């Protein structure tokens, strides 16, 4: 059966959030909410709305951001965000500067890699990690590991939704958090109380969406 989606009552500017309640499995965790960000990932109007709100959160008011590393399929949002942060008249020290936009490249072992021709966009650069959602922090840590491997500096983490306030000492800036999703919970698969209670999974989810079970 397909999950039943509903729009939460909280909006951030023109950004709204569609969610479904149930029992969902990701690669790193089990959750009782699925957050659908398909439109924000794929529709230019919705991506621009997210970028506008993130840009207003002073992401780069004090830090020169060189590169946005787009994870979770957020490249459209990342492109819009780079445009917002570099346009003249915007309150950012990046105004009039250049920001590179990179998307993640997982290797066969799950780690992120970049070809030699893209390394200069990370080496000795201030990098913003951009994600659709942050739950356990596992995906973020892969991004941090990657950036540090290429001798870059993770200068910030941004997401549409985050279950975490910080990852490894780096603050997470998000438009929505657990205050907007009453009762939101994320568990390690082996510690999931829904599994212990024999509650069937509603769907398997990843950055591309969901597969109903």
> pLDDT confidence of 150, banded at 50, 70, 90?
very high
Distances (CA, A) of 8 to 91, 97, 104, 177: 30, 37, 29, 12
Q: What mean pLDDT do residues 80-91 have?
A: 78
Is residue 96 predicted with pLDDT exceeding 80?
Answer: no
> pLDDT confidence of 111, banded at 50, 70, 90?
confident
Architecture of domain 36-212: 3-Layer(aba) Sandwich (3.40)
Q: Read off the DSSP letter of residue 3.
A: P
Structure tokens at 18: 């569609």
Q: Are 17 and 193 in contact (CB under 8 A)?
A: no
Quick one: residue 182, left, alpha or beta (phi over 0 = left, psi -120 to 50 = alpha)? beta
| b/e code 187-211 from CB counts within 10 Å (16+ = b) | beeeebebbeeeeebbbebebeebe
State pLDDT tens for residues 38-75. 999 999 999 999 999 998 886 655 667 899 999 999 99
Q: What mean pLDDT do residues 20-26 have?
A: 95
Determine the Cα–Cα distance for residues 77 and 55; give it in Å rounded to an integer: 11
Between 169 and 97, the more confident residue is 169
Between 10 and 95, the more confident residue is 10
pLDDT of residue 98: 86
The per-residue pLDDT of the chain, averaged, comes to 90
What residues have CB less than 8 Å from 113, skipping those under 6 apart? 105, 106, 107, 146
Determine the Cα–Cα distance for residues 116 and 101; give it in Å rounded to an integer: 16
Helix axes of 75-86 and 44-55: crossing angle, nearest 10 degrees: 50
Is residue 105 predicted with pLDDT exceeding 60?
Answer: yes
**Domain map of the chain by residue range?**
36-212
Determine the Cα–Cα distance for residues 92 and 145; give it in Å rounded to an integer: 27
pLDDT over 90 percentage in the chain? 73
Q: Are 51 and 209 in contact (CB under 8 A)?
A: no
Mapping DSSP to helix (H, G, I), strand (E, B) and coil, where does residue 192 land? coil
pLDDT over 70 percentage in the chain? 93
Between 27 and 189, the more confident residue is 189
Token match 């591309």: residue?
A: 208
Please tell me the pTM assigned to this model.
0.90
Strands (E), 76-202: 100-103, 126-134, 153-162, 166-167, 170-177, 186-187
pLDDT of residue 107: 78
Which DSSP helix (H) or strand (E) runs through 7?
A: strand 5-7
């Amino acid at each position: 059966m397909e999950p039943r989606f509903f729009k939460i009552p909280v909006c951030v500017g023109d950004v709204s959030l569609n969610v479904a309640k149930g029992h969902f499995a990701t690669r790193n965790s089990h959750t009782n909410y699925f957050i659908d960000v398909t439109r924000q990932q794929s529709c230019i109007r919705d991506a621009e709305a997210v970028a506008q709100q993130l840009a207003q959160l002073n992401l780069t008011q004090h830090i020169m951001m060189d590169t946005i590393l787009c994870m979770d399929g957020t490249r459209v949002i990342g492109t819009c965000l780079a445009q917002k942060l570099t346009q003249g008249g915007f309150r950012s020290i990046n105004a009039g500067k250049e920001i590179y936009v990179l998307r993640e490249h997982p290797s066969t072992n799950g780690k992120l890699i970049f070809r030699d021709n893209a390394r200069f966009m990370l080496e000795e650069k201030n990098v913003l990690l951009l994600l659709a959602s942050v739950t356990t922090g596992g995906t973020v840590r892969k991004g941090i590991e990657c950036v540090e491997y290429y001798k870059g500096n993770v200068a910030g983490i941004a997401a549409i939704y985050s279950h975490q306030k910080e990852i490894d000492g780096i603050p997470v800036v998000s438009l929505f958090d657990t205050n907007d999703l009453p009762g939101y919970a994320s568990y390690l698969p082996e510690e999931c109380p829904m599994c212990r209670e024999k509650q069937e999974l509603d769907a398997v989810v990843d950055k591309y969406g969901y597969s109903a079970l």
